[in-house]
Structure formats: structure tokens, C-alpha cells
Amino acid sequence: MSGTQQELSVSLWRGGKDGRYRTYAVPRRESQTVLDVVTYVQRHLDPTLSYRFACRVGVCGSCAMTVNGKPRWTCRTHVAKVAGAGRLEIGPLENLPVIKDLTTDMAEFFQKWQRAKGVFAPSQTRHDSIAQIRPDTPARAAADAAIECINCGVCYAGCDTVRWNSAYLGPAALTRAWTLVNDQRDAGNRERLQAVAVDGGCHSCHSHQSCQELCPQTLNPTAAIAGLKRRTAAAYLKGEIKA
Amino acid sequence: MNVRLYVWQRATAAIMAPLVLVHIAVIFYATRQGLTAADILSRTHGSAIWASYYGLFVAAASIHASIGMRNVLIEWSPLDERRAGLLAVALGLLLALLGFHAVIALVVT
């Protein structure tokens, strides 16, 4: 089915791991996003299509899919930008188990956030006064650099190291760890540095920088991981953490 | 890769960087001057400096390559971490054996 100016040829992944692509004809519209296309198929052509979205405005991180071979946030990806010759091939995110159609099981992705100690460890109680944070310190600038992560999984799906080494924590979890390492209010750094210094931690990163190239929020997980490598190496040499 | 292996790999890389440059310079010198194997061996025999230089080079290269191969095996072969580690150590020992054999040939025999 060839696409025309008025019509897109859209191949969508259908089924589970052993599924296949099925092609649909979708009307071309002005300012149309990839999520609009997927929604059109479900609302008008095949109501059994499964996919995930929530906010539609690039905040929630739910709607990431593989679009013409690259992981993207579909709600903010315009068809005009990616549909060369009026064709779209949309599949589930890679490096994650497929549940059905375009939905993946994100459990392992978020479990790795837990393993990387991506949870804030408070150093004060509600009875203490509010911490005064200077925005111009180098540590706060490093924390702020990655704080806009929306947990969409695009970096994880595009990471070669995740593909080759299933134990690797991945760019998102490590970036979260780096944010907290630089948060002066956090009290869990020794455990966090220990958690990311083991096999599958930050030192597994090859600095291919796919995460940096693909991140829809234009964050730089590679730089965050490099920071963790330096910080953990220093902590190891001081005897603060073990391999 | 964990932090211990990372530190060892970076440290051995730092050791090898200047050694590689000197090694390449020596190769250029030897070929430009048209030195024969006998000429080279006559200069290296009994030399504690060349023994130390290439001994350190072999040790650093064996450790560095072994750690790198462990990573490659974990990522690109079906071996688990323990088996990949054992195979990588065996490879490192083989490299060290061959390397030190060459160093001995250069300065002793």
C-alpha cells in the first residue's frame, strides 16, 4: 500500500514477541503527530490495537515507540519530520519485553531505577527548616541538568549496551542516580555509589552517546554516567566502596 | 565491568600510553637506521632498562586486554560473568606468558 500526499502507509506491530507488522492507510493531516496516527488506527480501523499514552503533550513519558527504526516520544514527533515518502513503521520500544502490539513491559526498566538507588534518601525531617539550595553551585547545576527526565525509556531502548548486557542498569537509572549524587539534601550517596559500581553499573557504559542523541528532553545521560564513573572510582580508591 | 576492573583498566592504559609512543619511536629508529636483528639484540642483551621497559609493557597489556576481553565476552557471547571472567584470565595469562618469553629472548638468551 503506497502512501500519497493525502494518505499515509502505516505499518504497526501487532501481537507479542512473535508478532508481525500490519499495514494501514491513514489520512494525512496538517500538524499530525505519530501518536495521532496510532490513535486514528485504534479509533477508526482496528479497536483491538493496544498502545500506551496519557498526557499527549510530552510530560508523562508514556507514549514512546520505535518509529521508522528509532525510539521516539510519539506525541511530540510530527509525521512530517519522520515519514519519508509517506511511510511510517511503528513498533514497540526495543530492549523491553513486548506485552501486546505497541505496549512494552516497563517493569525491568523501573526495577533498575530501584537497583541504582534512584530514590531520594532524606537527610532531614519535616521538623527541620527548609533546605536553602543555591542554584549556582556546580553540584546543583549537575543535578538540575538531568532533573527533567520523564522516564519515557527512549534512551534505554536506544542503548547498545542494554541490548548486549541485560544486567546493565541503563542510561535513565544512572542519570537519576547522578542527579541524586549531586543533591545536597540527599543522604544515600555511599549506598548509591556502591549500587552503581558493581557489574552492570556505570562502568559498563561504552559512551556510544545514543542516549544523548535520542533523548527527547535533550538531556545528556552519557555525561551523567561519566560523572558517576569518576565519582565511584574516587570513592573506591579511598576505600569508601567495594567492587 | 565493575569499579575495580575499571580502575585497573584505566591505570594500565595510562601506563601503556607513553610506552606505546616510545615503542613506536624505537621501531621508526630501528627501521630508519637499518638495524638488523643482531644489531638490536646486541644493544638489548643484559639491559636492565629494556627488560624493565618491556616487562612493564607486557604486564600492563596483559591485564588491560584481559579486562577488555571479559567485557567483550559478557556482551557478545553466551558465557555468564563467571565463565567469561575465567576465560579472560586465561587469555591474560597466555598473553603474559608469550610476552615475558619475548622479553627474556630480548635481554637474556
Note whether A215 and A119 are same-domain residues.
yes
Measure the CA–CA gap between B5 and A33, rounded to whole angstroms.
46
pLDDT band at A64 (very low <50, low <70, confident <90, very high): very high
Note whether A120 and A213 are same-domain residues.
yes
Q: What mean pLDDT, rounded, does chain B reach?
A: 94
pLDDT band at A85 (very low <50, low <70, confident <90, very high): confident
Whether residue A229 lies within 8 A of chain B, CB to CB, comes out as yes
Cβ-based contacts of B76 with chain A (< 8 Å): 164
Specify the 3-state DSSP secondary structure of B24.
helix
Burial class (CB in 10 A: 0-12, 13-18, 19+), A102: buried
Whether residue A237 lies within 8 A of chain B, CB to CB, comes out as yes
Give the pLDDT confidence of B77-103 residue by residue, as tens digits. Answer: 999 999 999 999 999 999 999 999 999
Q: Taking 90 as the threshold, does the pLDDT of residue A5 lie above it? A: no
Note whether A126 and A89 are same-domain residues.
no
Tally of domains within chain B? 1
> Do the domain assignments include residue A17?
yes
Q: Taking 80 as the threshold, does the pLDDT of residue B109 lie above it? A: no
> Do the domain assignments include residue A1?
no
Note whether A134 and A98 are same-domain residues.
no
pLDDT band at A2 (very low <50, low <70, confident <90, very high): very low
- Do the beta carbons of residue A191 and residue A115 sit within 8 Å? no
Query: Domain ends where: A75, A104, A133?
Result: A104
Note whether A56 and A135 are same-domain residues.
no
Q: What mean pLDDT, rounded, does chain A reach?
A: 95
What is the CA angle A222-A224-A228, rounded to 5? 115
Cβ-based contacts of B75 with chain A (< 8 Å): 161, 164-165
Give the HSE-up count for residue A32: Cα atoms under 13 Å, Cβ half-sphere: 21
What CATH number is given to the structural domain containing A159?
1.10.1060.10
pLDDT score at A3: 44
Packing angle, helices A138-145 and A171-181, rounded to 10: 150
Note whether A70 and A132 are same-domain residues.
no
Smallest Cβ–Cβ distance between A236 and the set B1, B4, B81 belongs to: B4
> Do the domain assignments include residue A56?
yes
Q: Taking 50 as the threshold, does the pLDDT of residue B9 lie above it? A: yes
C-alpha pair distances (Å), A212 with each of A107, A135, A205, A217, A219 = 23, 24, 13, 9, 6
Cβ-based contacts of B6 with chain A (< 8 Å): 203, 229, 232-233
Smallest Cβ–Cβ distance between B1 and the set A199, A235, A237 belongs to: A199
How many Å from the N-terminal Cα to the C-terminal Cα in chain B? 39
> Do the domain assignments include residue A197?
yes
Note whether A190 and A76 are same-domain residues.
no
- Helical H runs in A46-122? 79-82, 107-115
pLDDT band at A153 (very low <50, low <70, confident <90, very high): very high
Measure the CA–CA gap between A93 and A100, rounded to whole angstroms.
11
> Do the domain assignments include residue A216?
yes
Note whether A21 and A111 are same-domain residues.
no
What CATH number is given to the structural domain containing A82?
3.10.20.30
Tally of domains within chain A? 2
pLDDT band at A84 (very low <50, low <70, confident <90, very high): confident
Cβ-based contacts of A167 with chain B (< 8 Å): 81
> Do the domain assignments include residue A232?
yes
Q: Cβ–Cβ contacts within 10 Å for residue B43, how many?
A: 12
Q: Cβ–Cβ contacts within 10 Å for residue B76, how many?
A: 11
> Do the domain assignments include residue A83?
yes
Beta strands in A157-205 (DSSP E): none
| DSSP state, residue B46 | T
Note whether A26 and A97 are same-domain residues.
yes
β-pairing verdict for A20-27 and A7-14:
antiparallel
Q: In the structure grid, which three cell numbers stand for residue A38, read together?
A: 496510532
Q: Which domain holds residue B38?
A: 3-107
Note whether A112 and A156 are same-domain residues.
yes
What CATH number is given to the structural domain containing B22?
1.20.1300
Specify the 3-state DSSP secondary structure of B74.
helix
> Are the Cβ atoms of B2 and A165 closer than 8 angstroms?
no
Q: How far is B72 from chain A (nearest CA, A)?
A: 9
Give the pLDDT confidence of B17-63 residue by residue, as tens digits. Answer: 999 999 999 999 999 998 999 999 999 999 999 999 999 999 999 99
Note whether A134 and A63 are same-domain residues.
no
Q: Taking 60 as the threshold, does the pLDDT of residue A46 lie above it? A: yes
pLDDT score at A6: 85
β-pairing verdict for A70-73 and A103-104:
unpaired
Residues 6 or more apart from B41 whose CB is under 8 A from it? B106
The rounded percent of chain A whose pLDDT value lies above 90 is 94
What are the φ and ψ backbone dihedral angles of A17, each rounded to 5 degrees? Answer: -60, -35
Measure the CA–CA gap between B72 and A28, rounded to whole angstroms.
46
Query: Domain ends where: A79, A104, A129?
Result: A104
Q: Which domain holds residue A168?
A: 107-237
